[in-house]
A and B are shown apart, each in its own frame.
Chain A
Amino acid sequence: MYNKFRVLVVDMTKKKSKVEFFDTRKKWLGGSGLAAGLFEKYALFDRDPFHPDQPVIFAIGPLTGLFPMMSKTIMSFMSPYNSQYTESHGGGRSAMALRFAGYDALVITGRAERLTCLGFGSSEIHIQDVHYLKGMDIFKTGKILRNLKPKNPGHRSILRIGPAGENLVSYACVNIDTYRHFGRMGGGASLGAKNIKGIIISGDSTFDLPPEAVKEYGKTYKDIYKEVTETGAVRKYHNLGTPENLIPLNELKALPWRNLQSTHDPEIESISGEKFARDLLLRQVACAGCPVGCIHIGLLRERFGEEHEFLYRQVSYDYEPIFGVGSMLGVTSASEVLTLLEDVERLGLDAISAGVALAWATEALEKGIVSRQQTLADLKFGDVQSYRTALQNLADQTNEFYRYLGKGALAAAEKFGGEEFACVLGQEMAGYATGENYFVSQALGFRHSHLDTGAYSFDQEEQAKDIQESINYMQKQEYYRILMCSMAGCLFGRKAYPKENILRALNSLGYDYSGNDLDDTVKAIQAHRWAIKFRTGFKPDEVKIPKRFLEVETWKGKIDPDYLFRLKDEYQKVLKDIAGGHRFEEEEEKPEVES
């Protein structure tokens, strides 16, 4: 049984929508595979990311909501950061809401005339003028959008952008339900360019389970639920959460500090996962359909008056954001990290890129490459107030310096100098200075993310200097991750969802894939995604690995540039081969578009 994909296509220019059906379930699977298929159909490959007709896609998978941890939405778009095809994955209630709105995907094309909120459910679509939200931050925007249509409190998802997205910062994020994000690669700017301030997805419909599947599905659900909630491998994400990695990585000399000038610092205890949990953790919450509850919310208490006058904020934290605005900026107080994370959240920036870009700016100012007149703040590692000023300027795109910085640290460095210490590997680095394999994997990763292949783990293995082993590892990981993201599940569920469990879950619902079918399908999706990335301009040979990465010293000693560049050369060939395996549909089958 392979039912058709049901896709809502909204044209913001014409204010018209249509429901389209794609009989490609077996081939595209869902999630990442579906997103790639839809992108090929709707994208203007030879136009820039902000062309009004460029599509922004949100896709879910065949297991969404039907099994625990199948809680992600795959956002795909031409990235404002590098003009290439990319994905950004987010949770919250977005996936479940889209499922119960009755769609496998949402495709948005066109550009609204004025700032707009798109709202839809299973039997309603509203294109709502929200010009009055111009420049408004993420939190206030969320509160106001709650009063817009469709109203279905508790069973809807509210996506929105902040000032950074409206001002087209290349790493503006899309906020989902206050605490989650389509964080990386500039999805916020893609919506900003369409004049979309918010999207409300109402999950208001119900599906009857096919009577023949009820028993097997119920049993499979129960078994997987047990695995998710009772095995430590998944539960750890609830306890300290991802910040449990701060101390171990610091111990390994693999945690980037102060623009990667070092990989270890004695101050680690003050921003460790343990410190956050002990002193600031308010509670954990979950994405809809996930019993883990990995979202850690910290309490930020702020004194605002002479007398004992306080206000409090609830700020979500994770390993990567703590690295981005904590260790990378030399901020060694947990509360101060939350202060910066609150600003980043409010403005709608990606915490990793914003932190890493400001780390570059700090060193550039220190070295006299840029001036105080340009940075508008005395950026100094550890100086929270200067970073607060800088974040505001970054989101507001105040001057030429911040306009370049808003395109990324490397873009700013190419303009002003200081390329050698821009910590960029395709995009601003994630928090893993684990070695050559990781650096190459992010630089050449499909979405330049630590999650593409998880090569930071391979850096810790004995064969970490074996090129073929490394490529095998990255390919094996990429295969699995494409499978999981086509379902579309959370990658924290890896241990609970080996391929056999995914197959069992699919089979229990009547999708009769065999193991081999699934392998072939995932390989085809992998080729498809890479082919689209190459077609939108990916040139792996031109991806830079700045000098700073070659100066890193980890627990293994100094980086070996020879191994690193040989691995990069070899991996480039592998990726070109994979992409070469995909054939695009004939041009004439693509929808007609105005030039």
Chain B
Amino acid sequence: MKILKASNMKRCIGCYSCSLACARNIHKSFSWKRSGIRIHSSGGISTGYEATVCLACDPPPCAPVCPTEALKPRKGGGILLKKELCISCGECAKACPVDAIYFDPENNLPVFCIHCGRCVPFCPHDCLEMAEPSKEMSNV
């Protein structure tokens, strides 16, 4: 199962079209934060842009910390949320090693990438792609 990868962020021009697309199409929102992919510069625009996005860990460290099992591992990496089970504790956001879960203070829900790829066509510079996840080398 493919996942979203921000593979070419060196090409990013900082237009935020990806964040806006995710907010618009997935979250029915107008936002540059309520989005599974969030863009920011690292200490000013002269240093270029970075994308904060779920890396599709398999298994994901954010799922087991969910006390109500609202967050479940997604097949192929990453997570899925059952909104009605979520009690808005925010533990998942704290558990993510790369801060890819944005805990939305307005609706008290975690916001993260679901690897649907709907942001990809809105990137004008092909920074994003849907690709097979990298395999971790196992020490046998």
Residues of A within 8 A of B (CB): 65-66, 68, 96, 100, 142-143, 146, 153-155, 177-179, 203-209, 211, 214, 217-218, 221, 225, 229, 283-293, 295, 297, 314
Contact A288 B16 (CB under 8 A): yes
B23 within 8 A of A: yes
CB nearest to A99 among chain B residues = B30
Given A206-B106, A207-B29, A207-B31, A153-B24 contact (CB < 8 Å): no
List, in ascending order, chain A residues with CB within 8 A of B32's CB.
Answer: 65, 96, 100, 155, 203, 288
Given A154-B39, A178-B46, A218-B25, A284-B13 contact (CB < 8 Å): yes
Complex CA gap A153/B45 in Å reads 11
Given A179-B45, A291-B15, A206-B40 contact (CB < 8 Å): no
B22-38 near A? 1/0 per residue, CB < 8 Å? 01110011111110001
Complex CA gap A214/B13 in Å reads 27
Complex CA gap A290/B16 in Å reads 8
B22 to chain A, nearest CB (A): 12
Contact B33 A229 (CB under 8 A): no
Contact A214 B17 (CB under 8 A): no
New contact pairs (15) apart from A203-B33, A207-B31, A297-B46, CB-CB < 8 Å: A65-B32, A96-B16, A154-B38, A155-B32, A155-B40, A206-B23, A207-B30, A209-B29, A217-B24, A218-B24, A218-B25, A221-B24, A283-B48, A288-B16, A288-B32
Complex CA gap A496/B65 in Å reads 48
Contact A146 B44 (CB under 8 A): yes
B104 within 8 A of A: yes
Complex CA gap A96/B16 in Å reads 10
B47-59 near A? 1/0 per residue, CB < 8 Å? 0100000000000
A-B pairs, top 10 by smallest CB distance, nearest first, are A154-B40, A293-B13, A206-B31, A291-B124, A286-B15, A286-B13, A207-B30, A206-B34, A291-B15, A291-B17
A174 to chain B, nearest CB (A): 16
Given A65-B30, A96-B32, A142-B44, A286-B20 contact (CB < 8 Å): no
List, in ascending order, chain A residues with CB within 8 A of B90's CB.
Answer: none
Complex CA gap A143/B40 in Å reads 16
Given A206-B34, A286-B15, A211-B46 contact (CB < 8 Å): no
List, in ascending order, chain A residues with CB within 8 A of B13's CB.
Answer: 283-286, 291, 293, 295
Complex CA gap A570/B28 in Å reads 52
B14 within 8 A of A: yes
Interface residue from A142, A153, A205 paired with B106 (Cβ < 8 Å): A205
Contact A206 B29 (CB under 8 A): yes
List, in ascending order, chain B residues with CB within 8 A of A285's CB.
Answer: 13-14, 45
B75 within 8 A of A: no
Complex CA gap A65/B106 in Å reads 20
Complex CA gap A292/B39 in Å reads 16
List, in ascending order, chain B residues with CB within 8 A of A178's CB.
Answer: 44-46
Contact A204 B33 (CB under 8 A): yes
Complex CA gap A209/B26 in Å reads 11
CB nearest to A294 among chain B residues = B13
Interface residue from A153, A155, A206 paired with B104 (Cβ < 8 Å): A206
B96-139 near A? 1/0 per residue, CB < 8 Å? 00000000101000000000000000101100000000000000
Complex CA gap A280/B11 in Å reads 17
Could you write out 14 A-B pairs with CB less than 8 Å apart?
A: A68-B17, A100-B31, A155-B40, A178-B46, A205-B31, A285-B13, A285-B14, A286-B13, A286-B14, A288-B14, A289-B16, A290-B15, A291-B13, A297-B46
CB nearest to B15 among chain A residues = A286
CB nearest to B106 among chain A residues = A206
Residues facing A in B79-96 (CB within 8 A) are none
Interface residue from A153, A208, A284, A286 paired with B29 (Cβ < 8 Å): A208
List, in ascending order, chain A residues with CB within 8 A of B14's CB.
Answer: 285-286, 288
Given A146-B43, A218-B24, A66-B124 contact (CB < 8 Å): no
